[in-house]
Amino acid sequence: MDHDDVVEAFQAYLRDHNLPVTRQRLEIAKVLLASARHLSVEELTEELRRRGQAVGLATVYRTIELLVRSGLVVVRDFEEGFKRFEPARDIPHHEHLLCTVCGTVTEFRDERLERTTTLLAEAHGYLRQRHRLVIYGVCAACRTGTTPS
Amino acid sequence: MDHDDVVEAFQAYLRDHNLPVTRQRLEIAKVLLASARHLSVEELTEELRRRGQAVGLATVYRTIELLVRSGLVVVRDFEEGFKRFEPARDIPHHEHLLCTVCGTVTEFRDERLERTTTLLAEAHGYLRQRHRLVIYGVCAACRTGTTPS
DNA sequence: GTAATTGCAAATTCTTTGCACATAT
DNA sequence: ATATGTGCAAAGAATTTGCAATTAC
């Protein structure tokens, strides 16, 4: 599924739910679903303004909620004091590495963690539902002084 | 170290830093350091009021900051919209299991995770600093209907 | 046409801060 | 005595909500 397809999936979702397809909703979806980064509301709003497609903050929040309900976007909280949003793509579940210097987020998948966490939960009498792992560290670029950002 | 000792450690910290030992600081430390649960500011304030030792919200926040700086308390964010605070005890690092029904938090330690996360970080070019794992699930009590809370 | 959305501003929630008064050392 | 803490109320930051004007279908 490439970017355009995902935006179309959002349009389909809106139509299926008898929700109007508005300019704002499409612009927000285009930016958020095409983003390689984990965007904050501020970054998203800023990018829309840059494109000459400014959208009110309330609308941004309301549209993100729709994108989350449609399953196309996932909410992330890296304890920065605000949330970030990530296109769901087709990845069922993955972990995050967060560079504590530049804030870059790297995703990876590790099958073993699913099993490990299920066993850990069971060992303590819990029925596992999901888990969340964030590894904090310093990325290669920041370590070698090739600081991008 | 038992509860009283930890409260004394806080007093020692205050004295070492030439900070006044006040009734409020001691009451907050007593409640927070003795708690088996991960308290929120609201729960902590409520408990103080119940003990007839009501303390202003601002003071609670300011004292928690001192407890954190002294290393006796650790901040936790379970994405509930507010933070929780946990006595640091002597545990160097541990993971959390959060019951999605009753909110109970269970701690456990697993040495292998330290190694695993270091390797995962390295595999992606990161120098690991720390990690954070929360497993969400349903605890034994909630599953069997013996719901406490 | 009509129901839903938009955008602004006001409201909310958690947390922090300014300041007059109170307290520890 | 004097520096510091305390509590209240106001300020902040992120997010939500009410409502008149606007737009999709």
- Check residue B2 and give its pLDDT: 65
The rounded percent of chain B whose pLDDT value lies above 90 is: 68
Please name the nucleotide lying closest to A17, CA to C1': C4
Q: Which residues of B touch A (CB under 8 A)?
A: 77, 79, 95, 97, 99-100, 106, 108, 110, 116-117, 120-121, 123-140, 143
Mean pLDDT for all residues in chain B:
90
Write out the DSSP string of B50-94. Answer: HTT----HHHHHHHHHHHHHTTSEEEE--SSSS-EEEE-TT-S--
- Check residue B102 and give its pLDDT: 76
- In this structure, chain B runs to a length of 149
A100 against B71, higher pLDDT: B71
Nearest residue on chain A to B115, alpha-carbon basis? A135
- Check residue A65 and give its pLDDT: 97
A149 against B58, higher pLDDT: B58
Weakly modelled stretches of chain A, pLDDT under 70: 1-3, 90-91, 145-149
The rounded percent of chain B whose pLDDT value lies above 70 is: 92
Query: What CA–CA distance (Å, rounded) separates A6 from A24?
Result: 16
Going by pLDDT thresholds of 50, 70 and 90, the confidence category of residue B62 is very high
Q: What are the structural domains of chain B? A: 3-87 (1.10.10.10), 95-144 (3.30.1490.190)
- Check residue A79 and give its pLDDT: 87
Going by pLDDT thresholds of 50, 70 and 90, the confidence category of residue B149 is very low
